[in-house]
Amino acid sequence: MSFSTDVKTELASLKHLDCCNKAELSAIFHVGGSLERSSEGTTVLFQTTNIAVVRRVIGLLKQLYPDSAYTLIDKKQARFGKRDIFLFRIEPPADQILSDLSLTDTRGLFSHNIDKTLIRKECCRKAYLAGAFLAGGSINNPDTATYHLEIQTFSKEEAENLCELANGFGLNAKTAENRRGSIVYVKEAEKIADFLRVSGATNSLFVFEDNRIKRDFKNSINRVINCDIANEKKAIEAAKKQLEYIEIIEKSRPNDLPEGIKQAIFLRKKYPESTLLELSYAAEEHFGYRISKSALNHRFRAIKDFATQIQIEEGSA
């Protein structure tokens, strides 16, 4: 099962007050529903591939509109890997449902506005977001490299209204258009976690945060390892150049060196791949006192300058 399915299954199991149930059902039909007119009246249609969402819609209808008549059609998908499509129909007359959930405007057309009276309370606004995700939401698995949550809508107006509602909770949601309509999306991991918290998907929030922390920790460890490898490679390359300078000096003027330079040459030849810090400790073993990294660095710069001078004098630089 995908993480999106897990989130929807959890949201579909939540218990709300009646006012929140209306807000949630309104969001479900606004985001994923449509209207069909005939001589018998208006039919409310809703389509999904998630059976938990279907059960949620049926449960909400039984609570709020026990006398409503509905049918459920299971469309089997012949293609391998395709999930079944569940087509849910609320049969006419559905006038009370259309009115209560504000599914139509003054002209009797499908409305893309959110009825402010349905979301006056904060709990109802949270339930509306939960319903919107149930109808058209998806979220990347937290194990993946990118974080992305989106809610697919059929209209730009619906997406903008939903985006405004989400941003009332500081989710930093944005909208974009695609071939199916418009989406509301959230990219930041912290904001996706906030969406899960706001919508009531607490268990999914824990899973998301646990995976995110593990992933971030793993990335931090990898960065440290990569940094160490880069530093080690840099130290080896520097030591190699120092040995080249030492070879030039020893071939030409091995006796013209002060004691400090001789010590640095001894340490580098003895430990050809060691860092300056390691050479600093090695000095204590060989000479009875530590030579600081700064002092060693200064001496190796002097060795480089001396070797360069020899090359210039000999015409090989």
Q: Please give the Cα distance from 186 to 195 (Å, whole number).
A: 9
Q: Please give the Cα distance from 238 to 300 (Å, whole number).
A: 10
Q: Give, for all 317 residues of the chain, the pLDDT tens digit.
A: 789 999 999 999 998 888 899 999 999 999 999 888 888 888 899 999 899 999 999 999 999 999 888 888 887 665 655 678 898 899 888 888 999 999 988 888 888 889 999 999 999 999 999 999 999 999 998 888 789 999 999 889 999 999 999 999 999 999 999 988 999 999 999 999 999 999 999 999 999 988 888 877 777 777 878 887 888 888 888 888 888 888 888 888 777 788 888 888 888 888 888 888 888 888 888 888 888 989 988 988 988 888 888 888 777 55
Q: Provide the 8-state DSSP code for 288.
A: S
Q: Please give the Cα distance from 129 to 200 (Å, whole number).
A: 10
In 12-155, alpha helices (H) = 18-32, 51-64, 95-100, 122-136
Backbone angles phi, psi at 309, to 5 degrees: -65, -40
Q: Which CATH superfamily is domain 3-200 in?
A: Homing endonucleases (3.10.28.10)
Contact between 136 and 151 (Cβ < 8 Å): yes
**Residue ranges, CATH 3.10.28.10, the chain:** 3-200
Contact between 117 and 183 (Cβ < 8 Å): no
> Which pair of tokens denotes residue 173?
């949601």
